[in-house]
Structure 1
Amino acid sequence: MAKVTDAVAALALPVVERAGCELWDVEYVKEAGTWFLRVYIDKEGGVSIDDCEAVSRPLSDLLDEADPIEGSYTFEVSSAGADRPLKKPEHFARFQGAEVEVKLYRPREGRKEFAGRLGPCSDGQVVLELEGGEAVFAQQEIALVRLHPVF
């Protein structure tokens, strides 16, 4: 599946950039028996429905032409969202100092969820600044890191 997302990302990147946006992530997942291809975009000041449409229409045509996915799927283009997951090193660098939520595969100290300020991350480790100290998580123990917007 990584090959599908890589192929779609390569097709999507120039389309997304022409629309004045940034390619945040590409996801190809099966939910309730249906395959979904999701392209997440971001833009300074936020993503509008017009931005999604400006990416969706030309990218849909490119996908039909290149046909990188066998079988049927539902194609979606959407904003990365205020509570977006952080996956790539550049995501962690960009949001260092932001409030995040870390979810673990297995409990640590009796819990699987931690919230705090994202510290400097490197070498496959995520540092979370908590009240009273910091916690360091290895990449392999992390199920999800997402922004935790405070309104």
Structure 2
Amino acid sequence: MPTIQEKRIAGFIEPVLTNLGYDLVSLRIIGSQKLQTLQIMAENPDTGTLDLDGCTEISHAVSALLDVEDPIQSAYQLEVSSPGIDRPLVKDRDFVKYIGYEISVETIDANQDGARKFRGRLSSFDGESFTIITDHGDEPIRMDNLVRAKLILTDELAKQALKNSKNKNKNKETEE
């Protein structure tokens, strides 16, 4: 769950990313009070990826904004990255887009069997909850009980990522 400080920072960073043509996937502050790291994960909404040029562009724009807003009182480093193939599922659209794929999930509260960690195929999402098909059957999970959800790197996911990458490169060649 994002902290109040993370939500506040995301609130003024997200419009900058949107203006640059990117979506904020997640924002976290990690580390000790002496040296914190502000991690920003972003993507191109059309491709679901972020290349080095995009990381650089975001880093420059966000650094300038952070210098003005000064939201972190101690020393910190800025990290900008792509969500990667085995990306976290954060927003509603992530859960819709990746129906049919393998995910791992951690919940706040345990289910009736005492489990808080699950692995299975994402089968449905309705905005309030989602269901994964596990080896033990269907496991419904409420969004308000979710700690984290993440895609699991499988052959199927890798093939889809490769296909998306090839399509991205074709589109780049067409534009040039």
Tell me if structure 2 keeps the 8 A contact 1:95–1:118.
Answer: yes
Worse-superposed segment, 3-12 or 110-119: 110-119
* SS of residue paired to 2:93: helix
Q: Structure 2-normalised TM-score?
A: 0.70
Q: Structure 1-normalised TM-score?
A: 0.79
Query: What residue is the counterpart of 2:69 in the other structure?
Result: 66
Pairwise CA RMSD: 2.8
Q: Which runs of 4+ in 1 moved over 6 A?
A: none
Letter in 2 for 1:120: S
| Number of aligned positions between the proteins | 151
Q: How is 1:136-147 mapped onto 2 (pairs within 5 angstroms)?
A: 136-139=140-143, 142-147=146-151
* SS of residue paired to 1:119: strand
Tell me if structure 2 keeps the 8 A contact 1:85–1:146.
Answer: yes
- Unmatched runs of 5 consecutive residues or more in structure 1: none
Q: Structure 1 residue 39: deviation in Å?
A: 1.0
**Which has the larger share of strand?**
1
Q: Structure 1 residue 19: deviation in Å?
A: 2.9
Tell me if structure 2 keeps the 8 A contact 1:100–1:145.
Answer: yes
Letter in 2 for 1:134: D
Tell me if structure 1 keeps the 8 A contact 2:34–2:75.
Answer: no
**Which has the larger share of helix?**
2
User: Identity of paired residues, percent?
Assistant: 26
Tell me if structure 1 keeps the 8 A contact 2:55–2:80.
Answer: yes
Q: How is 1:89-128 mapped onto 2 (pairs within 5 angstroms)?
A: 89-104=92-107, 109=113, 113-122=117-126, 124-128=128-132
- Give, in whole Å, the separation in 2 of the partners of 1:141 and 1:2: 16
Letter in 2 for 1:25: S
User: Residues 146 and 45 of structure 1: is their aligned pair in 2 closer, same or farther, counting only changes over 3 Å?
Assistant: closer
Query: What residue is the counterpart of 2:164 in the other structure?
Result: none
The C-alpha deviation readout for 1:78-106, integer Å capped at 9, x for no partner, is 11121122233333233222221123565
* SS of residue paired to 1:10: helix
Q: Structure 1 residue 4: deviation in Å?
A: 2.0
- Give, in whole Å, the separation in 2 of the partners of 1:45 and 1:126: 21
Q: Structure 1 residue 7: deviation in Å?
A: 2.5
* SS of residue paired to 1:11: helix
